[in-house]
Structure 1
Amino acid sequence: MVEPLELGRFISTCRKEKNLTQKQLGEELGVTDRAVSKWENGKSFPDISLIEPLCQILDISVGEFMLGKRIEPEHYQEETEKAWIASLDEPLLYKIQMIIYILGIAAVAVLQVPLFSHGPMCVNIICWAVWGALFFAAYYLDKKIPERKLRYSNPWIEGVFSVIYFLCYMLWFFLRKDEWGTLPMSEQMSLWAIIVVGLIVGVCVRVFLARKKRRSAV
């Protein structure tokens, strides 16, 4: 969202282009000229119910209003998309980051079918197509959504998804290691100890890096 003062200047410019006084604009919108003056000086923001009629009077689009500037028709979609992305708040950015992680996990899971199964060719082709779509969606969101350092700075999200990724890998490992059950109990316990320690270290590293990124992102 544009800064109030910048938006106020834009409203003032558009009003003058229409040869309207603050009082005339206020009368058309059902507000006082003092309210219009506050908008133009960046001291207040028009009520959301007034945005559409205000845009109609000033002959601008809602997208131009939100950006506080005129937009060339060929750049309208690009500029409004940038405005929408810039308006994302911190909780929503974290939710998007979780979606990116989930898409990545789903892509890895789907990839197991064509790589390790002996199913029909059509099933493998479908799985490859789904994998490509999931991978592209995750990559696109990660590159397109701003504040990448901030998105990777939530210790809880990074810690939880580290555990999930690790468990997915271990599930894949155990399903394909038939000799695991033939190992002596002592060796199995040793391997479990190594796995648990590795998990703890991995989570701690991710959490530490997340906290470090958060300090530098703030």
Structure 2
Amino acid sequence: MVEPLELGRFISTCRKEKNLTQKQLGEELGVTDRAVSKWENGKSFPDISLIEPLCQILDISVSEFMLGKRIEPEKYQEETEKAWIASLDEPLLYKIQMIIYILQIAAVAVLQIPLFAHGVMRVNVICAGVWCALVFAVYYLDKKIPERNLRYSNPWIEGIFSVLYFLSIMLGFFLRKDEWGTLPMAEQMSLWAMIVVGGVFVFLVRVCSARKKRKVN
């Protein structure tokens, strides 16, 4: 959300463009001219129930109101997304970030189910459909969140879910029932060690990468 003083100046400018006094604007919204004055001076913010009617009176969009400026038609979608992301608080950002990674892990898990189904066509078709739906959901969320800031909102979440993503691939590959039991114990231990070391490496790399990208963004 834009700073209160900047928003107040925008409200004042739009009001004057409509040739309305603070009193006239207040009467149309059912508030006092003193309340309008406080908005324009950045001392208070309009009640959420007044935002839509205020935008209608001033002939601006809700996105323009949230950004505190006019939006050029060709940049409307981009600016609207920025206004939306700016309105989200950090806990909600973390939740959406985790949803993205959970969907990715689920997609990997679904893709591995046919390995245990021994070529059953119906299972393959269902898994392919579910996998496509999950991948589309991840793509949609990742594409719609502007500037990818969400993906790096918390480096620790980035690291943890990257490890889970890594393990879902590695364990699915190494722990197939028809292969794992035939391996010598020494080779099984070597594979476990490789998985653990790989998981630690992935965690460190992804956390460092997320921190660097968050600073750049």
TM-score (norm 2): 0.76
Equivalent pair of 1:150/1:214 in contact (CA under 8 Å) = no
| Alpha carbons of structure 1 residues 72 and 153: separation in structure 2 relative to 1, 3 Å | closer
Partner of 2:127 in structure 1? 127
Show CA shifts across 1:169-211 (max 9, x none).
2331234363433333333333323332222222222223233
Q: Aligned ranges for residues 3-152 of structure 1 at < 5 Å?
A: 3-58=3-58, 60=60, 62-68=62-68, 80-113=80-113, 117=117, 118-121=119-122, 123-149=123-149, 151-152=151-152
Partner of 1:188: 188
Kept in 1, the 8 Å contact 2:152–2:211? The answer is no
1-side partners of 2:128 and 2:89: how far apart?
34
Post-superposition offset of 1:161? 1.1
Bigger mean CA offset, 14-23 vs 51-60: 51-60
> In the alignment, residue 91 of structure 2 is paired with which amino acid?
P
Judge conservation of contact 1:114–1:128 (CA < 8 Å) in 2: no
Structure 2 unaligned blocks of 5 or more: none
Deviation for aligned residue 1:125: 3.0
Counterpart of 1:102, as a letter, is I
Identical-pair percentage: 84
Equivalent residue for 2:206? 206
Change (3 A) 1:77 1:207: closer
* AA matched with 2:88: L
What is the deviation of 1:74? 10
How far 1:81 sits from its partner (Å)? 4.8
| 1:15–1:25 contact (8 Å) kept in structure 2 | yes
* Aligned match of 1:178: 178
Q: CA deviation at 1:105?
A: 1.4
Q: What's the offset of the Cα at 1:113?
A: 4.0
Q: What is the CA–CA distance in structure 2 between the aligned matches of 1:74 and 1:216, rounded to whole Å? A: 26
Partner of 1:159: 159
User: Would you say how many aligned residue pairs link Structure 1 and Structure 2?
Assistant: 216
Q: What amino acid sits opposite 1:119 in the alignment?
A: V
> For each residue in 1:37-72, what CA deviation from the matched residue of structure 2 results, as whole angstroms up to 9, or x when unmatched?
232233432222433443454455545533445679
CA–CA distance in structure 2, aligned partners of residues 66 and 4 of structure 1:
10
Q: 1:204 to 1:73 in 2, by over 3 A?
A: closer
User: C-alpha offsets along residues 122-181 of structure 1, whole Å, 9 cap, x if unaligned?
Assistant: x43333222222112212221220242562252321232133123312331234363433
TM-aligned CA distance change 1:197 to 1:69, over 3 Å:
closer
SS in 2 for 1:44: coil
Note the C-alpha offset of 1:103.
1.4
SS at match of 1:163: helix
Asked whether the equivalents of residues 153 and 212 of structure 1 are also in contact (C-alpha less than 8 Å), the reply is: no
